[in-house]
Structure 1
Amino acid sequence: MMEYHVPVMLGECLEGLNIDPKGVYVDVTFGGGGHSKAILEKLDGGRLLAFDQDDDARENAQEITDKQFTFVSANFRHLKKYLRVHGVRKVDGILADLGISSHQIDEPSRGFSTRFDGELDMRMNPKGGRSAKEVLNTYSVEELHKIFGMYGEVKNAKTVAQAIDMARINKPIESIEELKAILMPLAPKHREFKYFAQVFQAIRIEVNEELAVLEEFLEQVPEVLNDNGRLVVMSYHSLEDRMVKNFIRGGHVDGRIEKDFYGNVLKPLAAVSRKPIVANEEELQRNPRARSAKLRIAEKPEN
């Protein structure tokens, strides 16, 4: 399972959770199970529930025989609902390792990576929802312009949208190589790979509704955390990190701040680390994908 996805900042995540051996914890992004296995090693009489909607992750979870472990085959936007299904109302810690796993990136058939050719899918749950292919072939130029600009922070987002629109008149865009061929003339010289990654990120976020999922998840966290319970979130791009930072700072992902009569900021969580934690040099050497990771830790204060 560790080969499926090398857990990023594993030690820092475990420290951030401040694990009580008899506590109840949730890993909302099970993936290859690296973080979950490490949490289970610290439990003695406690409980861990792990969420993932990916079939591969469910197969990985079957390897874990620990009675303290429960796998939930669902998207973590349904956190509260599925905790209640499994008889849990409050937990002591929640871990979220956002983004896609190394395995998903390296599997050509999933369509996440620009390094391989394959069908443009990009669904984290391949059984449901619209694929990348559907987004590219059915969205209007205006909708494509919006997602490339907002989710990929692509400088020439409108030009990309128009180029896709022109290309799909002749035939549907179905493969990674077909999309890259459209993007190549528009990419900045010597920065093609980064440019492709930005466009692919935008499509992936749209396909999986990643920012909406994150917002729905964060809004449920204060309700399910016990007093002094911890939230540990690892993000891999600025859009997600900004949402997490804003939520911890003021209880709203858009950065709104509300104050009480005395001018105190109304917020359900308190930051444990003022700045995001990043991987050390030794880990970066071992796992280059940790380079963009930012870890934020918050705690629910006692009432």
Structure 2
Amino acid sequence: MKDFPYTESKDTRSGFGAGLLELGRTNPNVVALCADLTGSLKMDAFQKEFPERFFQVGIAEANMIGLAAGMTIGGKIPFTGTFANFSTGRVYDQIRQSVAYSGKNVKICASHAGLTLGEDGATHQILEDVGMMKMLPHMTVINPCDFNQTKAATMAIADFEGPVYLRFGRPVVPNFTPADQKFEIGKALMLNEGTDVTILATGHLVWKSILAGKILAEKGINAEIINIHTIKPLDARAILESVRKTGCVVTAEEHQYHGGLGESVARILSQELPTPQEFVAVQDTFGESGTPDQLMEKYGLTEQAIVAAVEKVISRKKQ
């Protein structure tokens, strides 16, 4: 199992803030809109340096999406910012009609996604957002794994023409990807080559999958681990090439198993290469209040859960 050293842990929302600030300095068409959560979204540095390109809309998320859509007509590249729950569930109609249907170049940037929002509880956590957004025609869906990758993704989507949903989080996680990486939308990243099982992970579950890979290696199981940072468009070629080699797959995500990465992978496999698959995801339930670690443990989003899923899917392969 390949080693993945890291020197620090950072929150992915800070990667978004760093990327947005750098975009402000290099791309004069980039503007930012926030729904009363500037500090939480780490947009304050952009606001301070570019006050004339920052728009605080208050607790009016639907208006924020409408404003952003309108700004694209004048050639601006708007980045909207609020919690993932409010970025999607609260404003789905506006996104569908004014952004996706209209093909507007709006970047919907969503922090505090999934269970790891933590103590704010189920009303603020969202575990359905990837499914909601990937079903919209023309929408690109990106879920990076650490600070460096979130910064790189933030900068990359400014050069991409079309609506994008960029999902990131609140907790600090190991920062292990290269600082100088080139982010390619729709291109899966091979993290560890293996022969016994394919682990396809996204977001915070990428690091958990690396930890699981080390445990599996000690058990004599050689796991191929792939970072699926772009859920739509999905890198079907990379997935199929890996699964043809390993013969079974585990998907890992901080999302409902309905509508998430796992279902997208299952669709590809059912059409091209029927394969045993196990899902590490939230099992059709809402979250609750608790620390991020407590919630990840309770809802089965840990390296131990990934190991158990691998052992189960390998047993199915051998039947």
Report the structure, 1 or 2, having the larger helix content: 1
Q: Structure 2-normalised TM-score?
A: 0.30
Q: Structure 1-normalised TM-score?
A: 0.31
